[in-house]
Amino acid sequence: MNNQELEENIQKMIKDEKETVDHLGKTIKKMKNNVIKILMQIMLIDSLKHGKILEIILSILKTPTLEGSEIGEVAQNLKEHVEEEKIMMENFENLVDKVEDQRVRFLLENIITDEKRHHNIVERIAELVVDSETSDDAWWDFLYRYSRLTK
């Protein structure tokens, strides 16, 4: 498959993901059962994520990994985000300790698990950004390892 065919296929997939998001959003608004709402919301978020990943695929061949001029600003933003993630984790952990309803506790614990994973990922990204020797291969290696953690 040549690049133009690949791009056309990916563009169609992006359109399909956007349609799925729209359809799920409409369905969620009508749904009364909160468990089904949560499950459908997860699917909606996954479709949003898939659309963004597909958009990135379109730019992979054209865009360098990270330009030297971006490193300082990105590093500062990541440092701030690491602190934000840390505070969010602490807030969720404090809240979950006070919750007696097991359904709510279960959902909050899932959020805590995500926040911990996010915190670890952002910390590692910050390390890689600051290291001027980080190669494109190192970024892809990190992505491969990260993607295994999310399954």
Residues 57 and 127 in one domain: no
Q: Are residues 15 and 77 in the same domain?
A: no
Residue where a domain stops, chosen among 15, 38, 63: 63
Task: Give SS3 for 34.
Answer: helix
The model carries a pTM of 0.73
Q: Work out how many domains the chain is built from and give that number.
A: 2
Tokens of 56: 């990135």
In this prediction, residue 64 carries a pLDDT of: 61
134 and 74 part of one domain: yes
Domain range for 142 is 66-151
3-state secondary structure of 99: coil
In a shared domain, residues 72 and 120: yes
pLDDT digits (tens, 9 = 90+) for 4-62: 888 888 999 999 999 999 999 999 999 999 999 999 999 999 999 999 999 988 888 66
- Domain identity same for 80 and 9: no
pLDDT at 15 (0 to 100):
96
Task: Answer yes or no: do 57 and 71 share one domain.
Answer: no
Rounded Cα distance between 147 and 50, Å, is: 13
Helices (H), 61-101: 71-98
Same domain, 86 and 133: yes
Average pLDDT over residues 103-124: 88
148 — pLDDT class (breaks 50, 70, 90): low
The reported pLDDT for the residue numbered 151 is 47
Model confidence at 65: pLDDT above 70: no
Task: Pick the last residue of a domain from 63, 93, 110.
Answer: 63
Token representation of residue 94: 């404090």
- Report percent pLDDT > 70 for the chain: 90
Mean pLDDT of 71-87: 84
Q: Are residues 43 and 94 in the same domain?
A: no
